[in-house]
Amino acid sequence: MNLRIEATGNVTYVAPVGRLDFDAAPGFQEALERLLGGAGERSAAVIIDGTALEYVSSAGLRAFLLAARAAQRSGIAFALCALQPAVREVFELSGFSRIIPVHTDRASALAQTPPGRA
């Protein structure tokens, strides 16, 4: 799976392209953990833009869960936006939309995401 990563000021947008299945999930998780933890320059907020994310299975949800925990540990705000309907359904049914904020688009994600302390 390809990721488009775009840093604007102290916010980083990550746009996964394609299918987040069992095969793609480990690489996605690793990329997010690089942005959310460890050394180096960090953003105050990481926002996942789901415009081009077509599919998420439970393996993909696991990657999001671990990323959200890494963000919490690092004091980085973490949110999702612009999910396609099928992906939003997976987040709602699994209850993940209650533990990770989901916004309609980048603008509302930005407005409602208080920057973390990183």
Partner 1 sequence: MTTRCTAVPADAAQLTVLMRSLQEFAIAVALDASQARSFELALEEIFMNIVMHGSRPGIAPRVEVSLHRDAESVTMIVEDDGPQFDPLSLPPPDVTASLADRKVGGLGVFLVRKMMDSVSYARIAGRNQLRMSKRFDG
Closest residue by Cα to residue 84 from 105, 61, 54, 107? 54
Tokens of 43: 């953003």
CB of 9 to partner 1, least distance (A): 26
Cβ atoms < 10 Å from Cβ of 113? 19
- Of 8, 27, 34, 98, the one binding partner 1 by CB under 8 A: 98
The 25-54 site mask, x for binding partner 1 (CB under 8 A), equals ------------------------------
Tokens of 27: 């690489």
Helix spans in 15-93 (H): 25-36, 58-74, 85-93
Radius of gyration, alpha carbons of the chain: 13
| Residue 55 to residue 36: CA distance in whole angstroms | 23
- Of 37, 52, 69, 118, the one binding partner 1 by CB under 8 A: 69
- Of 39, 95, 114, 117, the one binding partner 1 by CB under 8 A: 95
Query: Which lies closer to partner 1 via its Cβ, residue 9 or residue 22?
Result: 22
- Of 86, 104, 105, 107, the one binding partner 1 by CB under 8 A: 86
Chain positions contacting partner 1, by CB under 8 A:
21-23, 55, 57-59, 61-62, 65, 68-69, 72, 85-86, 89-90, 93-95, 98-100
